[in-house]
Copies of this chain bind each other. A is one copy, B any other.
Amino acid sequence: MVLDLPTPCVIVDADVLDRNLRAMATAAAGRGIALRPHAKTHKCVEIARRQVELGATGLTVATVSEAETFAAAGLDDLFIAYPVWPTRERAARLRDLASRVRLRIGVDSAESAEALARAVPGLEVLVEVDSGHHRSGVDPGAAGALADAAENSGLTVRGVFTFPGHAYGPERQRPAAEQESAALAAAAAGLGPGVRSGGSTPTAALTGTGVLTEMRPGVYVFGDAQQLELGTCEWADVALTVESTVVSRSGNQFILDAGSKVLGADRQAWATGFGRLVELPDARIVALSEHHATVALPEGMPLPRLGDVLRVVPNHVCTTVNLADELIVTAAGAEVDRWRVAARNANT
């Protein structure tokens, strides 16, 4: 399927997308875990609505401005999975949001709990715990004391959450999922009943049913080259690609007109390149400039022709979507819609 559009362009296969949305909804429901998908991946109102229609309890977002975008579109149950610091202007925005939707945010220190309580008295929060990713979050053993401090400050503590980001690596999914469960169980022991929220796309299938009450995968809607190379999605699950034109050829290499300004420059140490190609799964993107992807082919494989259009699967689809103003939606190879990336650049 190749559309006659200026390249590079970001294309979504609506049928694959809907299959992905249904599969995760069914899997979560079957295991009795609430699904609260992370909307930072797609940033599109149309997809958020479909997720809720299929049973999601609400959305996860990363920033106050993402929450504002989805609240304005009628999504009314939002969790900002981030240790938001309430500056004066951000405090006013949080108060406004909390008056309009069911809002929860993350907290990982007594100091920020106090600041949040002054800013938005009674605000619902989840205590963030570190399950091994070592980014934000407190040690699980400290969650109870932080929850007490937050309650004493005037917040309403609804439970605990973690992000097992260390699952992004070969063979790391199972140990990370186990650490996630253990961390949430240990943290929850200090709090009593409540939300125990975890989950990521790489761990979604492994998430412990005995512990988690909620999971927050994001990337599963589209899939990407990272998930392909981790083995946590199949080629047939990839719903978003970047159509690109061959513009130069030399030796066993050729150049596509998709670079870091459309794909994003993410490349984990274990990735085989800067993305993958649907039509040439054995090719590797060995270098990425702003407007050039340098693609190397195995010895002896014929080069594509100048002007050929190929589909690139980006390494990390969340950053690809954030570069686009709109997604071109297709079904059976034909354009059927365009979706605005409503929360693009919603970083504040």
Show the binding face of A for B, using Cβ within 8 Å: 4, 6-9, 40, 62-63, 65, 82-85, 87-90, 108-109, 111-112, 115, 130, 134-138, 165, 245-250, 253, 255, 257-262, 264-267, 287, 289-292, 294, 306-307, 316, 318-319, 322-325, 345, 347-348
Contacts and interface: CB of A to CB of B under 8 A. Distances in A.
Contacts of A82: 247, 291
Contacts of A89: 4, 6
A247 B319 contact: no
Nearest to A218: B290
A348 B247 contact: no
Contacts of A109: 248-249, 306
Contact of A87 (B245, B250, B258): B245
A257 B90 CA distance: 13
Given A136-B255, A247-B83, A248-B136, A112 B292 contact: no
Main secondary structure of the interface of A (DSSP, over half): loop
Contact of A108 (B248, B259, B264, B319): B248
Given A135-B292, A265-B266, 19 more contacts: A6-B348, A40-B290, A63-B291, A85-B306, A87-B245, A109-B249, A115-B306, A130-B250, A135-B248, A135-B255, A136-B250, A259-B347, A260-B266, A261-B318, A261-B319, A261-B322, A261-B347, A265-B265, A265-B267
A322 B323 contact: yes
A336 B299 CA distance: 56
B85 A246 contact: yes
Contacts of A247: 82-85, 112, 136
Task: Give the 4 A-B residue pairs with the shortest CB-CB distance, closest first.
Answer: A6-B348, A136-B248, A265-B265, A265-B266
